[in-house]
Each structure stands twice: as structure tokens, then as C-alpha cells.
Amino acid sequence: MKEHLVTYPVRINKFKEHNELKDKLLDAIARQENVENLTGPNNNITRCDWSDMRFDRSREWLGLMGIALHEHLDQWAASLDYDTFQIHEIWFQQYNTGSKHAWHVHGANFTNVYFLDLPKDSPKTQWIDPVSKLAHEFDVEEGDIITFPSWLIHRAPENQSSEMKTIISWNMDVMITDHYESINTI
């Protein structure tokens, strides 16, 4: 078997409108109806709108961040020479003490996690290096959006903090045109 190691940047960027939108988003999420507690093997997510709601573009909290999020992702896409992006699904997750999300992967090209409310002792997203098979923690803080390939194995470790952690996550694909035709092959 031949193997090539391909490097790809995992981007962690500040969501510029975080300070302005944080409380409004948390209030809208608190009012969100049709939420669920996702429990199962190794999972216990306190509150989320994953099921059918992840496709609903009319949710109040999504409307609050829509334009600012689109601008953020436009800049991210341009920085990596992608022409545009398409969000397929977007949802929030909240983790009280003892809540967690087991190791998993997503569909689409990229997964994003916006750390809307990350109290001091709350756990950060962890990931597994597919080459070394070692687990690592992303160096994030509240207000960050992390974007990584959807196939990257990751999890939300158990929240041992007494405060609730809130994230917004989404899956998206990117599109390119044929401007890559002019790139030289090494």
C-alpha cells in the first residue's frame, strides 16, 4: 500500500460578532421549542435541536447570526481559495454537568463548532490524529469558530463544570471553479 500524508489546516477564528450576539443567541436558544435530550451509548447531550430542526432555517437564533455567520464563512472560504460554501444542517447543543458527546464523525466536507458559551472549566472539543492515533484538544476559547474536515474523529468530553456549555455546529460543503487548472503539479 502506498500512502501520502496530506496536511490540511484546521482553522480557529474569532466570530467577530460574538460579544454583540452571545446573550441574544443564548436567550433565543432558551426559548427554542422542539428541543431534545440526546442520550444513547456513550452520549448524553442535555439539550439540542438536532433532529428535524437542524434543517429549519426559520429558527430565531439562526436568524440572529445568519448574515454575520455568512460573512465569517465567506472570509474563511476565500482564505483557502474556495469559491463558496453551502451549509447543509445547523444545530445547537448544550451540555450540563455530566453531559458528553462520544467520538464521532460527520458527513459533508467540513464540520464547524462555534463555542457560544464556554465556561472556564468546560471541556473543549478533542480530536484523534488518524496517523499517530493520539487524542488532542483543540486550543479554543469562547467566541471561536473551529472548522475541520468532517471525517476527523472528534468528541465533546464529559462536562465536569457546574456550568452549562453551549455550542452551535454545522456541516457544509465547499465549491470551486476551474481556476485550479493553472496550478503546477510537483
Contact present, 114 and 167 (Cβ < 8 Å): yes
pLDDT over 70 (residue 183): no
4-26 pLDDT, tens digit each: 877 788 999 999 999 999 999 99
- Crossing angle of helices 18-31 and 60-79, rounded to 10°: 140
The alpha-carbon radius of gyration of the chain (Å, integer) is: 17
What mean pLDDT do residues 143-153 have?
Answer: 96
pLDDT (0 to 100) of residue 34: 87
| Domains, the chain | 11-179 (2.60.120.620)
How many residues does the structure list for the chain?
A: 186
pTM of the model: 0.93
pLDDT over 80 (residue 155): yes
pLDDT (0 to 100) of residue 36: 86
Query: Taking the CB of residue 180, how many other CB atoms lie within 10 A of it?
Result: 8
In eight-state DSSP terms, residue 9 is: P
Report the candidate in 161, 162, 152 with the shortest Cα–Cα distance to residue 113. Answer: 152
pLDDT over 70 (residue 185): no
Pick 37 or 104 by higher pLDDT: 104
31-90 pLDDT, tens digit each: 998 888 888 888 899 999 988 888 989 999 999 999 999 999 999 999 998 999 999 999
Cα(22)–Cα(50) distance, integer angstroms: 20
